[in-house]
Amino acid sequence: FALEDLLEFAKPLRMRNYSISSSPLLDPQRVTITVGQVSGPARSGHGTYRGVCSTHLLDLEPGDRMIAAVSSIDSGFRVPENPTVPIIMVGAGTGLAPFRGFVQHRQAQHDMGIDVGPALLLAGCRRSDHDRIYGDEWDAWQAEGMVEVDWGFSRQPGQPRQYVQDRIRARADRIGELLEQGAAVYVCGDGSQMAPAVRTAIGEIFAGGDGTPEAALMALTEANRYHEDVWAGA
């Protein structure tokens, strides 16, 4: 068999979906995505496995062309239409991607003279000097009062491990205050461990001393105030 004949029997690769990490209000002609390269020891024990799409993107040069599609989402995972609604964003690693676009959007609205509500980001990464994605941008936005950022570092030398759910509990008073103001909650990242832990932590805060975390979270979800964009962890 020739190679092209064998490929006839191969299934097409599934489409890879990435969150857009920029706002069209900043530049309607430019879209950015945030991708972490998948790379690690091959399961066979021989050589290194590299993700097909992430490696392809990494190997592209400026000016190269590729096929892509922009899809509209129906899940509600987008910045609120009312710019005064407070937002609570929770993400780790490349899960911070859509929130960069959220804050860019509100920054652009603010620059147009539109009133915008408070924003709180609970962000997670391994170390402050290693993978604090878009760190300089978050610092600048925080200095301008566009967002409050609270980092949890899981591998910071000399410090105990902190994950986003730990930072949520540490900021319970502030989160409770924003929830009382009608804040919408957005969670992006690992769906196997991070997202369930965040659900529990947010549910505990919203429930307070009345009811269960599960019932409180359901109430937020039914009110269209709790949104997730999660994927299976490695």
Q: Is 231 a catalytic residue?
A: yes
- Give the pLDDT confidence of 114-146 residue by residue, as tens digits: 999 999 999 999 999 999 999 999 999 999 999
Distance CA(187)–CA(195), nearest Å, equals: 7
3-state secondary structure 20-54: ECCCCCCCCCCCCECCCCCEEECCCCCCEEECHHH
The one catalytic residue among 22, 23, 150, 188: 188
Q: Is 72 a catalytic residue?
A: no
- Give the pLDDT confidence of 175-225 residue by residue, as tens digits: 999 999 999 999 999 999 999 999 999 999 999 878 899 999 999 999 999
Q: Is 151 a catalytic residue?
A: no
Q: Provide the whole-model pTM.
A: 0.91
Q: Is 131 a catalytic residue?
A: no
The one catalytic residue among 27, 59, 129, 231: 231
The one catalytic residue among 5, 19, 23, 128: 19
The one catalytic residue among 22, 23, 125, 229: 229
The token duo for 48 is: 């290194």
